[in-house]
Amino acid sequence: MRLRPFSALAALALASAGLVLPLTSASARPMAGVDTVAATCETHTDEVGGRHATGPTRFDPHELSDAKAASMNAQLVRDMAARGVTTTRGGATQKGKPGGGGGTFQPAVVPVHWHVITDGAQGNLTGSKLAGQISVLNAAYSGSGFSFQTVSTDYTNNPTWYNGITNGSTAEKQMKNALHVGGKGDLNLYTADLGGGLLGWATFPKSTVDPMDGVVMLDESLPGGSAAPYNLGDTATHEIGHWLGLYHTFQGGCNGNGDYVDDTNAEASPAYGCPTGRDSCASKPGTDPITNFMDYTDDACMNRFTTGQVSRMQASWLTYRAA
């Protein structure tokens, strides 16, 4: 989740939030793309500061504990084995290795259902703006095996849902129960003027259909919005990474395999802005993965998923969302 720079608003968000990311258009960003191709239903919220705050900064006040992340990963491994799901690493097929190396994966076109929430005057995103977001997603996930296609769009005038909605609120539950469509592999995207300085939040995959499943985003985080430096569309990229089973790159800090992906360098804490050369885990190889979509840097700084992240997303998709 993202937040604006620390302030009373940020402190308040710290006490009650979830996961999100910033954007950069595919043309504006130095697009390195995906290195090859990038458990239960937990929610992550990323904060950025709402439309009325200034100087947004990513922030996730509700990081998963290391124990919870380990438990979720262990469940994924068990469910992969039960369903016979494999991932590839070094040319060899391995079961139960959700964060291993890449290989070639089956393509999956993810059906997207847009739920545009407005208060009548604000939030009326145009079809071209939604199409621009889909273009950013398809550029970001290029080479991962995933692509995104809009299959439905609805507009709902509801000021209660639009103005200041937060993760876990009654308004969120009412909104999702009323609007959610499709099954486990259908991506429901909700846009509104989020409260608590939030950029957005997402649910992790699980094995049953859940009306709360999906991604909620600040409307001004879409390409061309006003939430700079998070207005290039990568809040959606980041949140959908969670929806496909990824943790933050800094999950677990410098100790061990916190994000359960082999090829993301260790990172002690989230990075902000675009701090080239940052090395928060000096005792571990490599500098911080500041250009990774699952860090907290500015949208313009993010441009890649790793091979291992793609392997993990594919494993989660095949185990939960494609099943």
For the chain, how big is the Rg over CA atoms in Å? Answer: 18
Whether the Cβ atoms of residue 239 and residue 1 lie closer than 8 Å to each other: no
Output the DSSP codes for 245-270: T---TTTTTTSS-TTS-TTSPP-SS-
Q: Is residue 209 classed as helix, strand or coil in its secondary structure?
A: coil
Q: Angle, nearest 10°, between helix axes 307-316 and 66-83?
A: 60
Gap between the Cα atoms of 257 and 76, Å rounded:
15
Gap between the Cα atoms of 285 and 105, Å rounded:
28
**Catalytic positions, written as ranges:** 239
51: closest CA among 251, 290, 226?
226
166: closest CA among 210, 204, 196?
196
Here the tokens at position 53 are 């705050």
Here the tokens at position 52 are 């009325």
Q: Is residue 137 classed as helix, strand or coil in its secondary structure?
A: helix
125: closest CA among 220, 25, 202?
220
Strands (E), the chain: 43-47, 86-89, 92-95, 108-118, 146-157, 187-192, 198-203, 215-218
